[in-house]
């Protein structure tokens, strides 16, 4: 990141935060700054849900100011924050005509694949949308991070080949770096040890615990 | 009419909070003349209709009670006498619109006019005219104007119930107008009038009022102090110390929750509550309708955010609260029907959540869901019947609005249902993504370990598809759950599902949940009931 750029981001971030805390968030003359902030999120790979929702809200209030490119960026950025449900939150603010926009339908289709954890198909389909997606710096890795999260909560041991495919058939070196990043372990038999799940996933016996707080209302 | 002409009617690029804005309405009493008189129906004659003495007496009584700050009498007149008189004399007619020969006080007349319009909306919807809608709006402007532009807190005492109903009705009429504006019922005159006066019932003007009341009362600072067990005197300020401003501020926060929800902005809806601790019995609100509204909208926002555990907790708390207060809660207000409807809606949404995210809940609430009406719905949803999910959603969801007139967002005028359609579509897509999970769950429940191959034979699918399905199961059951802190947005990822599992190589290991019997809730409820009974007995005179 170039020095001047970082300063611009920090300044804008402070300003946007001030807007968000007051009624300035509904002021359409701040829209240019909000939009610039979205563009910076795209090029410099950071993320601010609250600011992005405020942009969509301004479009909702002032449809004549609607910018399809910015909305695409916001929706794609929302996908990078999976497993959080940001994409749904953003989509709920779109209007009827926008829902039928082809790019938005396409992004929604990709989002659906991710939500269904059909990762193999996602990587195949994604390859067709490169013009839309390449602008989002760090997009693929954010998605891989989400996939690793799902693997992490599901598996104790996973087949190396399966994992590689889930992550988009990445080269071995890259696979190794994801394994290291997640503190997973390669085992000699072509398996990868994720984490011990026995303690995390176990049969629960719910017996009642009555806290003092619950009883205090009748004391 | 000219005094209502505004060049900057859209106020699109102006600040929202602006004292001048309120000043616009200060130039003359609105009630003297219907300011929208440019079409069909003639204004009703002012004095031809003679109303009974009881009505005049009531109005004068109410005025005196307010002047004397006699809250018990105000409560009696507002909550019992007014509905009674309405039933006796105004079942099919409007209350007198002009009372200036009885009371001259400007503020009181505005309050009375608020009741007058509210009665038309609630009881005489067929005779609710376009000019009623516009005049009611300008009456609200006048009322909030008096409250917000006064150099010092105005000296007015009303009950919390009344204050809540003013704010609640204000939002309701905004919602009603937003839908009306998109309906094909409008004639040409009305269309052109609205085009020239687009600020009337605009989303900006409504937000403007709510934010101004919140700001004026310093309510957020007061709530923060309250949460930290500190005195709010230091932060309340001159206005915030007055119960009138404080409660209007509090109710405006709840109104914002509602407005944002109706616009589909669930994140902001919950965020505006960030200084309200929903887990504490708050001294701020002894108005049941307000509590229920809060829970209803927060619960719904949680559902849309896929925070089912939080939604279930919110609905359960609310429904338990309802059970507790039902005995004390009398049918004395317009809002009783609304409260009953919201209760039904919450049970329905709770059923939806429990199908998507099974977990054990309070037994007395569960007992209601075992009832035939809900049990059949639940069975259909569990069997993957999307239509049933849709019906439940349509019954239980809030009203959804588009913040702009149709001409602006390109939708055809008949598409008043578009905003609802969008929210419904998004919800049903989420459900569709999860539609196979109950089936997976039912197979998992049968075993403690099971080879992948066996499960895929049960599911009639191949190993790859099953793998994705199992990943999806874990992903969807792993949601943000509130754990601590004042903001209801906060939380951490937790797996709250009743049936959980993990995959080790080719083997699925399953963990079920066994729930022991619970006694605490039962006893606490019984203690409450006895307590209330005891209190009721004590107040009886023999």
For residue B296, the model assigns a pLDDT of: 93
For residue B329, the model assigns a pLDDT of: 60
For residue B248, the model assigns a pLDDT of: 93
For residue B3, the model assigns a pLDDT of: 35
The 3-state secondary structure of B177-244, one letter per residue: HHHHHCCCCCCHHHHHHHHHCCCCCCHHHHHHHHHHHHHHHCHHHHHHHHHCCCCCHHHHHHHHCCHH
Q: Chain B neighbours among A 44-103 (CB < 8 Å)?
A: 49-50, 53, 57, 60-64, 83-85, 88-89, 91-97, 99
Of A99, A117, A200, the CB nearest to B468: A117
For residue B11, the model assigns a pLDDT of: 36
- Give the tens place of pLDDT for each residue, A33-81: 999 999 999 998 899 999 999 999 999 888 888 888 999 999 999 999 9
- Give the tens place of pLDDT for each residue, A177-189: 999 998 888 888 8
- Asked whether residue B30 carries a pLDDT value surpassing 90, the answer given is no
- Give the tens place of pLDDT for each residue, A92-111: 998 877 878 888 889 999 99
- Give the tens place of pLDDT for each residue, B169-189: 999 999 988 888 877 777 778
Report whether A45 contacts A73 (CB < 8 A).
Answer: no
Q: How confident is the model at residue B305 (pLDDT cuts 50, 70, 90)?
A: very high
Residue A28 to residue B12, Cβ atoms within 8 A:
yes
**Phi, psi angle pair for B364, to nearest 5°:** -70, -30
Q: Could you give the percent of chain A with pLDDT greater than 70?
A: 96
* pLDDT higher at B383 or B183: B383
**CATH of the domain spanning B436-542:** 1.10.10
For residue B312, the model assigns a pLDDT of: 93
- End-to-end CA distance of chain A: give it in Å, rounded: 60
For residue B21, the model assigns a pLDDT of: 36
Closest chain B C-alpha to A132 CA, distance in angstroms: 23
* pLDDT higher at B153 or B487: B153
Token readout for B225 is: 């102090």
Cα B396 from Cα B342, distance rounded (Å): 8
- Give the tens place of pLDDT for each residue, B227-250: 888 877 788 888 888 889 999 999
Residue B495 to residue A206, Cβ atoms within 8 A:
no
Local structure of A35: helix, strand or coil:
helix
* pLDDT higher at B195 or B300: B300
Token readout for A15 is: 């300003």
pTM of the model: 0.85
Q: How confident is the model at residue B106 (pLDDT cuts 50, 70, 90)?
A: confident
- Asked whether residue B29 carries a pLDDT value surpassing 50, the answer given is no
Q: Which residue(s) pair with B509 in the sheet?
A: B449, B502
For residue B85, the model assigns a pLDDT of: 83
Residue A92 to residue B203, Cβ atoms within 8 A:
no
Of A85, A116, A191, the CB nearest to B505: A191
The full set of domain ranges for chain B reads 287-435, 436-542
Average pLDDT, chain A: 87
Residue B474 to residue A207, Cβ atoms within 8 A:
no
Q: Report the chain B residue with the minimal C-alpha distance to residue A27.
A: B13
Cα B291 from Cα B520, distance rounded (Å): 24
Residue A27 to residue B16, Cβ atoms within 8 A:
yes
* pLDDT higher at A90 or B93: A90
- Asked whether residue A1 carries a pLDDT value surpassing 60, the answer given is no
- Asked whether residue B24 carries a pLDDT value surpassing 60, the answer given is no
Q: Could you give the percent of chain B with pLDDT greater than 70?
A: 85
The 3-state secondary structure of B252-297, one letter per residue: HHHHHHHHHHHCCCHHHHHHCCCCCCCCCCCCCCCCHHHHHHHHHH
Q: How confident is the model at residue B328 (pLDDT cuts 50, 70, 90)?
A: low
């Amino acid at each position: 990141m170039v020095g001047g750029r970082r300063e611009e981001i920090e300044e804008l971030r402070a300003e946007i935060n001030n807007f968000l805390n007051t009624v300035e968030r509904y002021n359409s003359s701040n829209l240019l700054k909000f939009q610039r902030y979205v563009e910076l999120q795209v090029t410099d790979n950071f993320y601010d849900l609250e600011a992005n929702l405020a942009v969509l809200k301004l479009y909702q209030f002032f449809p004549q100011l609607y910018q399809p490119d910015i909305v695409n960026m916001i929706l794609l950025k929302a996908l990078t924050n999976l497993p959080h449900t940001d994409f749904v939150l953003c989509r709920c603010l779109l209007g009827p005509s926008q829902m039928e926009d082809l790019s938005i339908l396409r992004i929604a289709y990709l989002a659906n694949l991710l939500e269904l954890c059909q990762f193999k198909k996602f990587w195949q389909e994604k390859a067709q949308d490169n013009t839309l997606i390449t602008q989002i710096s760090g997009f693929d890795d954010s998605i891989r991070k989400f996939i690793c999260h799902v693997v992490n909560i599901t598996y104790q041991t996973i087949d190396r080949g399966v994992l590689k495919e889930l992550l988009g058939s990445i080269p071995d070196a890259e696979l190794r770096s994801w394994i290291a990043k997640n503190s997973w372990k390669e085992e000699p038999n072509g398996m990868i040890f994720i984490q011990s799940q026995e303690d995390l996933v176990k049969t629960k016996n719910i017996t009642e615990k009555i806290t003092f707080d619950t009883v205090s209302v009748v004391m | 009419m000219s005094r209502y002409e505004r060049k900057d009617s859209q106020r699109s690029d102006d600040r929202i909070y602006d004292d001048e804005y309120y000043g616009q309405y200060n130039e003359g009493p609105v009630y003297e003349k219907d300011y929208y008189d440019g079409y069909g129906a003639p204004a009703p004659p002012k004095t031809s209709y003679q109303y009974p003495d009881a009505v005049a007496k009531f109005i004068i009584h109410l005025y005196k009670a307010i002047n004397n700050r006699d809250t018990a009498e105000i409560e009696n007149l507002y909550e019992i006498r007014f509905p009674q008189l309405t039933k006796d004399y105004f079942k099919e007619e409007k209350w007198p619109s002009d009372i200036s020969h009885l009371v001259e006080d400007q503020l009181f007349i505005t309050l009375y006019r608020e009741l007058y319009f509210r009665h038309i909306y609630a009881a005489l919807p067929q005779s609710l005219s376009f000019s009623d809608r516009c005049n009611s709006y300008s009456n609200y402007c006048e009322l909030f104007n008096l409250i917000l532009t006064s150099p010092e807190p105005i000296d007015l005492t009303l009950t919390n119930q009344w204050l809540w109903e003013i704010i609640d009705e204000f939002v309701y009429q905004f919602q009603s107008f937003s839908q009306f504006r998109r309906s094909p019922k409008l004639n040409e005159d009305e269309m052109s009038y609205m085009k020239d006066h687009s600020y009337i019932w605009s989303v900006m003007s409504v937000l403007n009022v709510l934010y101004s009341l919140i700001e004026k009362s310093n309510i957020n600072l007061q709530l923060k102090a309250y949460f930290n067990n500190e005195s709010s005197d230091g932060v309340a300020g001159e206005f915030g110390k007055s119960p009138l401003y404080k409660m209007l501020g509090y109710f405006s926060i709840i109104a914002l929750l509602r407005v944002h929800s109706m616009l589909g902005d669930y994140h902001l809806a919950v965020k505006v509550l960030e200084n309200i601790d929903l887990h504490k019995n708050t001294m701020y609100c002894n108005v049941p309708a307000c509590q229920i509204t809060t829970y209803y909208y927060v619960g719904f926002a949680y559902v849309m955010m896929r925070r089912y555990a939080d939604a279930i907790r919110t609905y359960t708390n609310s429904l338990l609260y309802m059970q507790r207060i039902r005995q004390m809660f009398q049918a004395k207000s317009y809002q009783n029907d609304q409260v009953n409807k919201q209760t039904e809606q919450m049970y329905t949404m709770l059923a939806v959540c429990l199908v998507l995210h099974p977990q054990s809940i309070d037994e007395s609430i569960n007992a209601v869901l075992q009832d035939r009406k809900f049990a059949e719905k639940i069975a259909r949803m569990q069997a993957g019947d999307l239509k049933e999910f849709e019906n439940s959603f349509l019954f239980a969801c809030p009203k959804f609005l588009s913040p702009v007139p149709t001409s602006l967002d390109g939708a055809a005028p008949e598409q008043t249902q578009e905003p609802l359609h969008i929210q419904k579509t998004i919800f049903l897509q989420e459900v569709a993504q999860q539609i196979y999970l109950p089936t997976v769950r039912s197979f998992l429940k049968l075993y403690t370990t099971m080879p992948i191959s066996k499960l895929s034979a049960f599911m009639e699918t191949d190993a790859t598809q099953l793998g994705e399905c199992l990943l999806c199961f874990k992903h969807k059951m792993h949601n943000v759950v509130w754990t601590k802190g004042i903001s209801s947005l906060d939380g951490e990822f937790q797996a709250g599902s009743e049936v959980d599992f993990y995959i080790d190589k080719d083997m699925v290991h399953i963990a079920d949940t066994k729930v022991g019997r619970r006694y605490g809730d039962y006893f606490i409820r019984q203690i409450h009931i006895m307590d209330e009974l005891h209190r009721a007995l004590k107040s009886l005179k023999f």
